[in-house]
Amino acid sequence: MIRGRLAVGTGIVAAGAVALAVGFWPDGSGGSRGGSGDGGRTPGTATASEPAPRSPAPAKSYALSEAPATVPAVREHTPARGPGWRPGDGGRVVVGDRALADEARLIAGELRLRYAGEAKPRAGDVRLDLSEDQGRGGGGAESYTLTVKDRTVRIAAPAAAGVFYGTRTLKQEVAGGRTAPEGVVRDRPAKPRRGFMVDIARKHFSAEWIEDRIRELGDLKYNELGLHFSDDQAFRIASDSHPEVVSADHLSKAQVRRIVDLAAERHITVVPEIDSPGHLGAVIAAHPDLQLRDSRGVATRGAVDIAKPKAAEIVDDLLREYDELFPGARWHLGADEYQALTRSDPEASYPRLAAAARDRLGPDARVQDLATAWLNDRAKAVGPGRAVRAWNDGFFRGGVTKADDRVEVAYWTGKEIGAREPVEYLREGRDVLNYNDEYLYYVLGEPNDFQYPTGQRIYEQWTPLVVRGTRPVPASYDRQILGGTFAVWCDLAGAQTQEQVARGVRMPLRATAQKLWDERGPTRPWAAFVRLAGDVEKPARPAGAAKPAR
């Protein structure tokens, strides 16, 4: 099918299209009528004593609109004929509910429009509404409908998050002076968790750098930012309960509050991680008596002795202290790479841990059971009102105890000895988050055979079903895979500056956003997607625009 376009105002019609502009006379006829009337005057003509009527301007005709080009792509667009919408000097943003004031002020500042509060929309305006009807097609709170009609835009959603995502679509539609196409967008995410994680423990990132990433993530419709802020190398957030563990370069609590608040404005949940009982070198540096030692007295790097109550007390102190600082509904508890469990015979290598396991959990308990009990205790410390997750190598086969059912599996690797297949967790009924290190791990310095991931490989090969390696799990488990997270790890912290990291993750983040928002295969070739990613980041209006609102 050939679809032509009319160049409005030029009189040029593309081949394959027919567009008619018919001028009607005042009496509604499409031309002159035969016969004579009063004074012998033909209807539709003028006598010498009266001026000839002015012919009305031809009505404009518009080609059927095309779907907007955005990152991630919208899932559904119903085309229509009309001029579309562009931000103009007289345009306003109005709301149907004052609860949407933050979303309205943000998009108004970005498009250089005036925020007018609760008001009736007029031509040139954008209206934001809360409407339960918009959620009935699926997608829940994050779904939205964006309608362009009669030179106005209406964005409606069942919750503020959906309205916000609609404003992100609109912002991209008009980027670089483009026009938001006439018609209706109905959009929703494929996955409820869409995350980006940064290892700020091994490498200090400035608060400003993190805030810039939040703005970037919001425009790409991510809804999680993970902060891995405690590890062997450093502890990066100020603490009142244990200031002795905090590293020299760290974020103040005031900086963290600004980060959390900015994220909340973009409907992003900050997911903190204090990894334990391994990766606690910064805590051990201040409390060397807590370091795990084997049967020969040799210290085990990064691992605390989980048979010592003081180790649990310090970690729980920190978890409870940060409860107020991170009010979001999710916590990451770590639990990976506890070095006692990498030995061929943990009970022989760590007889103290083996004895503690039997004393607490029964005569058949092993060291892995004690580690599982540690995980469950930390989940209790976080509290029942939050979703908690742990790395997949913190879950074990068999044993006399198991991880609490509410602990989600953050699946990152199958490369470690004895690593369980993702399907094992799925069969148990557990929810899984995809951190596949084959595609989604950006490891500074590329140690241990890691290579910097490319956006093209993610875009063309990865889906949320590809949890381990390159093979997908059966589609029947799709609902249990809650989403995915692209992660930056700073194993060789000096390998890149934070500016280089931002450039390096730019296209991988966009490719991951596309695959988490829409489960269908990409319709654009990679080169076109790269061009589009640049286009949608251009300012919506010419130079001299006001600085976007925070």
Q: β-strands 193-199, 152-157: how paired?
A: unpaired
In contact, 278 and 333? CB cutoff 8 Å: no
Give yes or no for a contact between 513 and 72, defined as CB atoms under 8 angstroms apart. yes
For residues 470 and 495, give the distance between their C-alpha atoms in angstroms, rounded to a whole number.
27
Largest CA distance in the chain: 123
Three-class secondary structure of residue 270 per DSSP: strand
Q: How many other C-beta atoms lie within 10 A of the C-beta of residue 80?
A: 16
Taking a C-beta distance cutoff of 8 angstroms, is the pair 113, 92 a contact?
yes
Q: Is 337 a catalytic residue?
A: yes
Q: How far apart are CA 270 and CA 338, in angstroms?
A: 25
Burial degree of 307 (CB within 10 A; 0-12, 13-18, 19+): buried
The tokens describing 177, both together, are: 């002076």
Which of 271, 342, 346, 338 is closest to 311 using CA atoms? 338
How far is CA 263 from its chain centroid?
Answer: 11
Q: Which of these, 477, 384, 408, 483, lies nearest to 142 by C-alpha position? A: 483
Q: Looking at the DSSP assignment, which residues form a beta bridge with residue 144?
A: 187
- Contact (CB, 8 A) for 509 and 515: no
Q: What does the alpha-carbon distance between residue 131 and residue 135 come to, in Å, rounded to a whole number?
A: 8
Distance CA 143, CA 159 (A): 8
Residue pair 390/367 in contact (Cβ under 8 Å)? The answer is: no
Cross-strand partners of 331: 388
CA pair distance 130, 157, nearest whole angstrom: 5
Of 337, 347, 438, 519, the catalytic one is 337
Distance CA 75, CA 79 (A): 13
Half-sphere exposure of 281 (CA within 13 A, CB side): 13
Distances (CA, A) of 142 to 18, 132, 158: 40, 12, 8
Active site residues: 337
